[in-house]
Structures are given as structure tokens and as C-alpha cells.
């Protein structure tokens, strides 16, 4: 019987180790500046990247210039995300952080998306943004939403669907910090309706409970550059996501969004 507590302790330690390894690992050296595979001779491979010889590292490996400049937002979504991850700043490798600048045209949208490997903290620099995230099925797809003004901050938990919408008539700018050197991005509309090759329309017709023509239209016109049921989380959240956000994200008529929200709202609240 004395062996049981020891066994349980080992199990707990094993679980703790697996949880800890689920995020970016802590570095065992001061830094590990990433280098391209083509530049590798006798480099060390750490966290998905080869490390530059520390003797060859310079200040430029930790530097990026030009984040003060506005980005082009002349696209269907009216937004532009400039990501500063390990692919842009090699010195971020193993450090577990990254940064992004998001520019929004009037009524521009950073559409519903997830970061599978990082929590996000967003601060508004200019303008007014409507932001929100939707919880998992286990938490009944609750929507946490807020209107942010200059200087306001909001947090998006790792792996949850979230968005930002410029409610104003002027440009808006925000900066986002992420808890990973490469948090990843999965844009919901892209992933569901613009995959390569396309998902069988019969699958999406049943998932979204709409006519097949609606799905084929969404797949044809998709223009958008965790375990959560997408249809329920996006269209059946409580309270509902602003229809203007989803109309712009999915590039469809507002009546389609109204119909989908009505269908999934009923399903989620019965």
C-alpha cells in the first residue's frame, strides 16, 4: 500500500510535465536566434528552429523597424494584420512571445479566428473597436464582448474564437501581444469554406443546417485572407455576435446570417 502514494505522485508529476510542455518550452540558454535551414552547418535545433551560433548574434536579430506605419486596408474585410513572430524577428525563438499590429478601415473587421497556441492581449491605440470571444461547447458558447476605446485592453484566451470590429467612421489601430513565438492563426471562414481541397458540401450543409446552395455560394465566394463546434459557436453564441461582424466575415447577405443565427440560437437555447 505504501507504493500507492508514490505511484500517484508520479502520475501527478507526469501530468504536470505534459501540461507544462503544451506551451512554448522555456529556454535553457540566454537566447536561441533562429536561422534558416539553408544556413545550418553545425547549429543547434531548438523549438522548431535551428539556433545561430551565439558568437554570430547581433542586435539586428532582436530588431524590427517600421511598426509605426499604417498598413493597407483596401480589401473586402477592411483590415490588415502585421505579425511580428519568430519568422520576422529571429531572436524571438524560444522566448514565448510575439506581437501584432492590426489596422482597421472604418467598419473594418479582423474576422472570427483562433490562435491555437497562444493567449492574446489587445490594446487599442486609435479608434473604437467592438471585440469579443466565444467559449467552448462545454461552457455553452457564451459570448464575452466589449466596446473598447483608445487605451482600453482586452484579453482573448488561447484557442477560443474571437474577433475585432471597427464600429467607427475613422481608422482604428490596435496592438496585440501573444504568449507564443508563433501562436498560429485559423480564420474560421477560410478554414471552413475555403479549404484546399474543399470540404464536401454535404458535410457543411448538415453542419450549418442550410440549403446546399448557400454552402456552395459560401465556398465559391470566400474571400477572407480548439475543440469548438464552429456552427454553434459562431451562430449560436449567447448573446449573439453582432450580425454586421459575421456578414463581413463570411461575405454574404445579412439575411443569411440572420437565418443562421435564428436556427442555432433556437438549438442552443432549447
pLDDT, position 14:
53
Report how far residue 215's alpha carbon sits from residue 252's, in angstroms, rounded to the nearest whole number. Answer: 11
pLDDT, position 12:
46
Residues 49 and 116 in one domain: no
Residues 212 and 235 in one domain: yes
As for how many domains the chain has, the answer is 3
Mean pLDDT for each 10-residue chunk of the chain (270 residues)? Answer: 51 46 67 72 61 92 96 96 95 94 98 95 98 94 97 97 96 97 92 88 86 76 49 86 91 83 64
Residues 217 and 251 in one domain: yes
Residues 244 and 220 in one domain: yes
Residues 101 and 180 in one domain: yes
pLDDT, position 118:
95
Residues 151 and 179 in one domain: yes
CATH number of residue 163's parent domain: 2.60.120.10
Residues 32 and 49 in one domain: yes
pLDDT, position 55:
92
Residues 127 and 167 in one domain: yes
Residues 144 and 85 in one domain: yes
Report how far residue 129's alpha carbon sits from residue 122's, in angstroms, rounded to the nearest whole number. Answer: 11
pLDDT, position 258:
84
Per the domain annotation, does 210 fall within a domain? yes
Binding residues for Mn(2+): 113, 115, 120, 162
pLDDT, position 257:
85
Binding residues for oxalate: 110, 115, 120
Strands (E), the chain: 34-35, 44-46, 49-51, 79-84, 98-104, 109-114, 120-126, 129-134, 143-148, 153-156, 161-166, 172-178, 186-187
Binding residues: 110, 113, 115, 120, 162
Pick the last residue of a domain from 156, 186, 216: 186
Residues 139 and 235 in one domain: no
pLDDT, position 19:
43
Per the domain annotation, does 7 fall within a domain? no
Per the domain annotation, does 9 fall within a domain? no
Pick the last residue of a domain from 152, 186, 220: 186
Per the domain annotation, does 88 fall within a domain? yes
Pick the last residue of a domain from 145, 160, 186: 186
Q: Which residues constitute the domain of residue 233?
A: 189-268
Per the domain annotation, does 73 fall within a domain? no
Per the domain annotation, does 71 fall within a domain? no
Residues 138 and 206 in one domain: no
Residues 256 and 236 in one domain: yes
Sort 142 into a burial class: Cβ within 10 Å, 0-12 / 13-18 / 19+: middle
Per the domain annotation, does 212 fall within a domain? yes
pLDDT, position 11:
46
Amino acid at each position: 500500500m505504501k507504493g500507492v502514494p508514490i505511484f500517484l505522485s508520479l502520475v501527478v508529476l507526469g501530468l504536470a510535465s505534459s501540461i507544462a510542455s503544451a506551451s512554448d518550452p522555456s529556454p535553457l540558454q540566454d537566447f536561441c536566434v533562429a536561422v534558416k535551414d539553408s544556413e545550418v552547418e553545425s547549429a543547434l535545433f531548438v523549438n522548431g528552429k535551428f539556433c545561430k551560433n551565439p558568437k554570430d548574434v547581433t542586435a539586428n536579430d532582436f530588431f524590427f523597424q517600421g511598426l509605426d506605419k499604417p498598413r493597407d486596408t483596401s480589401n473586402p474585410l477592411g483590415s490588415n494584420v502585421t505579425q511580428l513572430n519568430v519568422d520576422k524577428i529571429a531572436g524571438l525563438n524560444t522566448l514565448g512571445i510575439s506581437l501584432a499590429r492590426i489596422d482597421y478601415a472604418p467598419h473594418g473587421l479582423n474576422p472570427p479566428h483562433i490562435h491555437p497556441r497562444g493567449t492574446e492581449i489587445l490594446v487599442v491605440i486609435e479608434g473604437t473597436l467592438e471585440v469579443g470571444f466565444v467559449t467552448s461547447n462545454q461552457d455553452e458558447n457564451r459570448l464575452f464582448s466589449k466596446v473598447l476605446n483608445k487605451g482600453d485592453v482586452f484579453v482573448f484566451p488561447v484557442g477560443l474564437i474571437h474577433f475585432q470590429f471597427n464600429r467607427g467612421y475613422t481608422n482604428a489601430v490596435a496592438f496585440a501581444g501573444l504568449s507564443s513565438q508563433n501562436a498560429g492563426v485559423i480564420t474560421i471562414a477560410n478554414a471552413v469554406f475555403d479549404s484546399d481541397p474543399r470540404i464536401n458540401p454535404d458535410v457543411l450543409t448538415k453542419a450549418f443546417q442550410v440549403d446546399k446552395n448557400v454552402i456552395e455560394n459560401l465556398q465559391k465566394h470566400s474571400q477572407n485572407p480548439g475543440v469548438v463546434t464552429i456552427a454553434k459557436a459562431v451562430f449560436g453564441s449567447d448573446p449573439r455576435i453582432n450580425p454586421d461582424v459575421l456578414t463581413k466575415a463570411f461575405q454574404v447577405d445579412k439575411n443569411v446570417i440572420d437565418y443562421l443565427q435564428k436556427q442555432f440560437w433556437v438549438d442552443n437555447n432549447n
